[in-house]
Amino acid sequence: MRILVCISHVPDTTSKITFNSDFTEFNTAGIQFVINPYDEIALAKAVELTEGSDGTITVINVGDSSTEPTIRKALAVGATDAVRIDAAPRDAWFVAKQIAHYAKDKSFDLILTGRESIDYNGSQVAALVGEILNIPSVSIAKKLTIDGQEITIDREIEGGKEVLSTQLPVVVGTAEGVAEPKIPNMRGIMSARTKPLEILPAIDVPVLNNIAKYESPAPRGQVSMVDDVDQLVNLLHSKAKVL
């Protein structure tokens, strides 16, 4: 089985997020970057699916040279080789076009992404890649099993779950439950240094949108502690004005 795992280079969840003076660019100074947590789940599942076989795992990232430590960590976890598309990932459409262009003639049986990246939370790349390649795509997968050329996927829907079956190849956006993220061991870390990392130029993709500005969330308001129902009702009526 040949698997392509798409990984994003995102700020650690504990990072303090700031922007430049006119709020048009994210300030990366002092920020620790990691593999997108949902992509770690996808990578861990790929490792499980190829364990003990001659299957291969290629990881692909759209980003500049600063993302290479993140890519090397993915190789340390168990990927066979890696590809970096040398361009800033300006939006989901741009990223999906780069991935699909690379994958179109590589005969991958399975393409895995995370359900979303934790920086923009768009949940778009898996569906866009599937559409561009004209193969099925399923997002928010909580479980997947493969039997021959058939894949069965449990996906999260509002109020429950949906079970789908389709034929490979397919694009799957993974969520919690598909696999447990793996911590690279020393052997993996050492071998990652010599595993192939191919750097490719980006293809031209029309600009469909631009980010005008970023805004930080409003600071949390003062909390009022109440100890009886009458006081709560009075505050909801007079202060919150929701009654």
CA atoms within 13 A on the CB side of 90: 14
Assess whether pLDDT exceeds 80 at residue 147: yes
Q: Quick one: CA dihedral 193, 183, 103, 107, positive or negative?
A: positive
Matching CATH number, 2-208, of 3.40.50.620, 3.90.1150.10, 3.30.1490.100, 3.40.50.300:
3.40.50.620
pLDDT digits (tens, 9 = 90+) for 199-210: 999 999 999 888
Which carries the bigger pLDDT value, residue 165 or residue 17?
165
pLDDT at 239: 79
pTM attached to this predicted model: 0.87
pLDDT digits (tens, 9 = 90+) for 6-58: 999 999 988 888 888 888 888 888 888 999 999 999 999 999 999 989 999 99
d(CA 162, CA 56) in angstroms, rounded, equals 29
Under the banding of pLDDT at 50, 70 and 90, the label for residue 1 is very high
The label of the residue with tokens 């970096």 reads 84
8 Å CB contact between 141 and 166: no
pLDDT digits (tens, 9 = 90+) for 55-110: 999 999 999 999 999 999 999 999 999 999 999 998 999 999 999 999 999 999 99
pLDDT at 235: 82
pLDDT digits (tens, 9 = 90+) for 80-90: 999 999 999 98
Q: What's the chain's Rg over C-alpha atoms? A: 21
Cα 135 from chain centroid (whole Å): 19
Which carries the bigger pLDDT value, residue 187 or residue 243?
187
Cite the beta strand spans of 19-68 per DSSP E. Answer: 33-35, 56-63
pLDDT at 153: 97
Under the banding of pLDDT at 50, 70 and 90, the label for residue 194 is very high
Under the banding of pLDDT at 50, 70 and 90, the label for residue 179 is very high
β-pair type (33-35, 56-63): unpaired
